[in-house]
Amino acid sequence: MIGLRLVRRVFVYAHATDMRKSFDTLGGLAREAMGRDPVSGEIYVFVGRCGRRAKLLWWDGSGTCVLAKRLGVGRFVRPWRLPSTATLEWTESELMLFLEGSEHVGHRRLSPTAWTRPTDR
């Protein structure tokens, strides 16, 4: 069982990615283009130009995992079409919706902001 629920942060590369890339080159994109540490335990999402394929890069504590998915019907959200910088941050819920092929991910915030206790006056 892959425990992606242990992940707290998800970062999405906001440009089309060559889906032939694997461990080292995706890690290089996370490090150089996104300014993140690929062995931090965060998930990095990459989407192919046509939108039918996506790869996730994840350090699980003992090694790097590359998870790949190809949609049979429809397309993944293409992050380069969203108003953003080079990196987007998604919640776990948004990642799960993305992997299901939801077209709404990234267009509007799907998760509420974190609740904070009001200060006593």
pLDDT digits (tens, 9 = 90+) for 36-54: 999 998 999 999 999 999 9
Measuring CA to CA, which residue among 120, 53, 49, 52 is closest to residue 81?
49
pTM above 0.85, yes or no: no
Spatial neighbors of 66 by CB under 8 A, at least 6 apart, are 22, 23, 26, 55, 56, 57
Asked if residue 9 has pLDDT above 50, the reply is: yes
**Rounded CA gap, 31 and 15, in Å?**
15
In the 8-state DSSP scheme, what is residue 63? S
- Cβ count near 46 (within 10 Å): 25
